Amino acid sequence: MTTQRNTDYIDLPLLIKGKVRDVYDLGDSMLMIVTDRISAFDVVFEECIPDKGKVLNSISAFWFDYTKAIVNNHVISTDPSEYPMGLDKHADKLRGRSMWVKKAKMFPAECIVRGHLEGSALKEYKASGTINGVEMPSGLRQGDRLPEPLFSPSTKADEGHDINITMSELEDLIGKEDANRLKDASISLYQAGAAYALEKGLILADTKFEFGTINGELIIADEMLTPDSSRFWDLSDYEPGRPQKSFDKQYLREWLESTDWDKTYPAPSLPEDVILKTSEKYKEAYSLLTGKALQ
How is residue 244 annotated by DSSP? P
Domain-by-domain residue ranges, the chain?
A: 14-103, 106-250
Range 106-250 has CATH code 3.30.470.20: yes
Q: What is the pLDDT of residue 250?
A: 81
For 34-75, what is each residue's pLDDT tens digit?
999 999 988 999 999 999 999 999 999 999 999 999 999 999
Question: Is the CB of residue 235 less than 8 Å from the CB of residue 244?
Answer: no
Question: Is the CB of residue 20 less than 8 Å from the CB of residue 53?
Answer: yes
**CATH number of this structure's domain 14-103, picked from the four choices 3.40.50.10190, 3.30.200.20, 3.40.1440.60, 3.20.20.30:** 3.30.200.20
Classify the C-alpha dihedral 246-192-55-292 as positive or negative: positive
Judge residue 22's burial from the number of C-beta atoms within 10 Å of its C-beta, 0-12 exposed, 13-18 middle, 19 or more buried: buried
Q: What is the pLDDT of residue 225?
A: 97
Query: Which phi-psi region, left, alpha or beta, contains residue 50 (left: φ > 0; alpha: ψ -120 to 50)?
Result: beta
**C-alpha radius of gyration, the chain, whole number:** 19
> How many other CB atoms are found less than 10 A from the CB of residue 113?
24
Q: What is the pLDDT of residue 251?
A: 86
Q: How far apart are CA 263 and CA 255, in angstroms?
A: 12
How is residue 117 annotated by DSSP? -
For 157-184, what is each residue's pLDDT tens digit?
766 567 889 999 999 999 999 999 999 9
Q: What is the pLDDT of residue 249?
A: 83
Q: What is the pLDDT of residue 2?
A: 81
Q: Which positions of the chain have pLDDT values less than 50?
A: none
Question: Is the CB of residue 61 less than 8 Å from the CB of residue 78?
Answer: yes
The CA dihedral of 195, 200, 203, 209, to the nearest 10 degrees, is -60
* Domains 14-103 and 106-250 fall in the same CATH topology: no
